[in-house]
Structure 1
Amino acid sequence: MLPGRALLGNHNGYWNPAILKRLREREYDAIILGGYNHFTMLAAAWYAHRKRIPFYLMSEVYLRQPRAAWKKLVKAPFLRFLLRQAAGGLPTGTLACEYLEFYGLKRAQMCFVPNVPDIETLRSQAQDLWKSGKMELRKSLGLDAAPMILFVGRLLALKNVHVLIAAFNEIRKAYDLQLVIIGDGPERQRLTNLCKELGCADRVRFAGFVAPQKLVSWYCAADVFVLPSSDETWGVVVLESLACGTPVIVSDMVGSAPDVVNSPEVGSIIPANDVSALTRALELRLKNTSSPERVAKVWEPVAQKMSYQFIAHELVEFLRKSSSVGGQ
């Protein structure tokens, strides 16, 4: 870890003064850049180009994400220039691939490197919990027996948790339900007040921060996981839920959606910011439940492609072929 600081504030324009010195200390077959919004990465790209070392650009951004017009105008020529120098790109998924392609990179120059949790470990832990059943799991978590809707994430405005609460308030008029919101953040008080205003505070539990190793129990206890974000670059929590056998409802602004929701049995993709669409999706999910074993079976092809072993194998083969690394 090199010492450094953000020159532009808000974790942007990060600069590690020792980067060029560190790069000169040994020879590299290839250099992978974790993006292009930090001065350190641009310095590494300049060094790689100067030394004729192939470099690859990782990206999880997609075209539909809201960005200021001036930023798009300034970024376009710069990013096209950078990608012309790059040996290839490493997008997280389909939407990020389209983004890199839009700015000039060819599909043949890309290898998917999705941002994934430890799928195999999560599935193994979940399978042990399935034996207990959702009722027992909910009881152990201090919940009642009613069907449970789950959200996990930072409580930020762009997560659209208020949309979920509004949809929950609508559907609970016809169903006995409970909503669990895991996570903390600047929106918590506003969301708590919203629940009181709607009169559903007694059926919404704000669980706060939950340690990652304990999340499996919450995923397995839920009937459906919801991520209604208006701007979500990827969404690891979606994969965590599916790895635990819990179906999902995600907005069309969740970057991982096209790559992980492979069947209506495992999930639904709805328009962002649409309370009515989310309400309908929740009702449909509650009427057509799937066992965790069934969700796991349908999601198996995705789980295999999202395993560490598969991703590492594909990346190594891609680097060998595209950078002439050979057998190293």
Structure 2
Amino acid sequence: SKVEGSRALLKKLFLSRISKALVPGVSNEKLLCQLGFKGEIIKTHGVGLYNRNRRVPFRALHEDAKKFLYVGRLSIEKNLKSLITVFNDCPEWILEIVGFGPQEEQLKLMAKKNVIFRGAVKNTDLLEIYQKSDVFVLPSDREPWGLVVEEAINNGVPVALSSRVGAAEDWVGIHKCGLTFNPDDIDDIKHTLDVIANKEVNNDFRRRIQGVDFDYIEREQVDSFIF
């Protein structure tokens, strides 16, 4: 988000009239501070309650990761062309894409056979898809938070996230549940997926996920709206 120029001035003017702000995580809090917000900031630890599993058993990989997953809209800001370009050059990897959107036909035309489009999936069926994946990938050019990141981690799956995903500083920086990459750099995306595909690295992230207290995070999220 712009913190300089005419847009930033409009944001600062708007924020000057606000006394209290609720933000999902660290990166959003930093943005408000960069814009000179003087009011109270409350972290909500997310953007909403999702269909949460109580505890997914630890599943170790016995070989390097091959099954990657994306869940979300098929639209330009999600940067899926760059992600598919990586998988077109890595036929040993499989990318499952769950969702639909304006870029669907264009993406299908450019993708090779190792990229599978699953379309819309019921929420009740999505949990199993997460759990059968080795890595969840979100390559967005811009993403204020990313509820799907929490869903993937809650289902025991390490994440590879664009550095512009709002949830990255919390789930990668603090909880250490995955890695980030530069969404503008195809080589960096490929390198990051190579690293997290390594079974030792991937299993280390899976062990860290087992230590996340999802009950506590959910309680904190609910409590943050009670004031």
TM interval, short-chain normalised: 0.7 to 0.9
Corresponding residue pairs, total: 222
Q: Deviations over 1:257-314 (max 9, x none)?
A: 101124696200111222111101111111233178624324x15x35521x222234
Report the TM-score, using the length of structure 1 for normalisation: 0.61
RMSD: 2.8
Report the TM-score, using the length of structure 2 for normalisation: 0.85
Superposed displacement of residue 69, structure 1? 5.0
Name the CA distance, whole Å, in 1 between partners of 2:113 and 2:175: 31
Matched to 1:218, the amino acid is I
Q: Which structure 2 residues correspond to residues 110-125 of structure 1 after superposition, within 5 A?
A: 110-113=41-44, 114-118=46-50, 121-124=52-55
1:79 aligns with 2:15: yes
Match of 1:159 in 2: 78
Matched to 2:210, the amino acid is K
Is the 1:246–1:295 Cα contact (8 Å) retained in structure 2?
no
Q: Which structure 2 residues correspond to residues 256-295 of structure 1 after superposition, within 5 A?
A: 256-262=167-173, 266-287=177-198, 288-290=201-203, 294-295=207-208
Q: Which has the larger radius of gyration?
A: 1
Q: Deviations over 1:89-136 (max 9, x none)?
A: 1111112212222334347x22111214347x3244x44xx78x989x
Is the 2:3–2:34 Cα contact (8 Å) retained in structure 1?
no
Match of 1:45 in 2: none
Match of 2:98 in 1: 182
1:171 aligns with 2:90: yes
Is the 1:247–1:265 Cα contact (8 Å) retained in structure 2?
no
Higher relative contact order (CA 8 A, sep 6+): 2
Is the 1:155–1:188 Cα contact (8 Å) retained in structure 2?
yes
Gaps of 5+ in 1: 1-64, 136-145, 196-200, 320-328
Q: Which structure 2 residues correspond to residues 58-207 of structure 1 after superposition, within 5 A?
A: 65=1, 70-80=6-16, 82-83=17-18, 86=19, 88-106=20-38, 109-113=40-44, 114-118=46-50, 121-124=52-55, 126-127=56-57, 147-172=66-91, 176-195=92-111, 201-207=112-118
Is the 2:176–2:205 Cα contact (8 Å) retained in structure 1?
no
Gaps of 5+ in 2: none
